[in-house]
Amino acid sequence: MNARLAAVVLAAGVLVDAGRADACSVAESAPHTIDATRMDSVVPEPPTDVSVMITRGPRADSGGCGNDRVSTSCDGIGILQLQLNEPATDDQTAPENMGYLIEVIDGSLPRGLSIPATALRSTLVFSWMDDDTEGQEIIAFSVTLTPVDEAGNVGSASDPIRIYDPGSSEGCATPSRAPSLDAALLLMLVSALGRLATRRRPVG
């Protein structure tokens, strides 16, 4: 094995190991803080556009519908994010410093997920130990977001925000699944070996 080929193989191995990193980090919501010294009596206006993003916690050996995928330490962890596209507005409090009271108004939270009763700062991300099998429960509930500014003024609640994920109830549908990290690296390695062989072929 020449030096160039050895370098290609080593790089592929490093990238595969990187794809199996064992640290799972989820940046969850921080508690809202109130400044009692603020002279402000104007209540904030509620958010008007909120997107819901849900990531379920599949097993490392399933990838959904029995397809293998790269294992990570986030296997089994579900993530819910409420993305504030049009956040609450206030005359003094910046959007990133706004707090939100989240109230469940119908349905039930999935097992393991809890939402604090106190106000949270504007990054609204929650994680829980989701069912890491292919028989995941349906997620179906609605919440409202009530803004709280830095002075502690509480505004009106937003319109209801529907949070829904079918779980495993709709069966498996994984068309044009992206290749796993290992498969992609194997293709890169084969391509590199092909280029090396072409360069070393004697000219007839």
Residue 16 has pLDDT above 80, yes or no: no
pLDDT of residue 202: 54
What is the C-alpha to C-alpha distance for residues 122 and 97, in angstroms, rounded to an integer? 7
pLDDT of residue 8: 39
Per-residue pLDDT tens digits for 57-87? 765 555 445 555 556 667 788 999 999 999 9
Is 28:126 a contact under the CB 8 Å cutoff? Answer: yes
What domains does the chain contain, in order, with CATH numbers?
28-172 (2.60.40.10)
Query: Which helix H or strand E contains 194, and what residues bound it?
Result: helix 181-200
What is the C-alpha to C-alpha distance for residues 110 and 22, in angstroms, rounded to an integer? 26
What's the first-to-final CA gap in the chain, in angstroms?
24
What is the C-alpha to C-alpha distance for residues 120 and 34, in angstroms, rounded to an integer? 11
pLDDT of residue 21: 46
Per-residue pLDDT tens digits for 172-203? 533 333 333 444 444 455 455 555 554 555 54
Per-residue pLDDT tens digits for 114-155? 999 999 998 899 999 886 566 788 999 999 999 999 999 999
Residue 88 tokens read as: 């609450």
Given pLDDT bands bounded at 50, 70 and 90, which one contains residue 170?
A: low
Residue 91 has pLDDT above 90, yes or no: yes
Per-residue pLDDT tens digits for 17-59? 444 445 566 677 899 999 989 999 999 999 999 999 999 876 5
For the segment 91-97, the average pLDDT, to the nearest whole number, is: 96
pLDDT of residue 189: 53
Q: Which residue has the tokens 């990570």?
A: 72
Given pLDDT bands bounded at 50, 70 and 90, which one contains residue 161?
A: very high
What is the C-alpha to C-alpha distance for residues 11 and 189, in angstroms, rounded to an integer? 9
pTM of the entire predicted model: 0.67
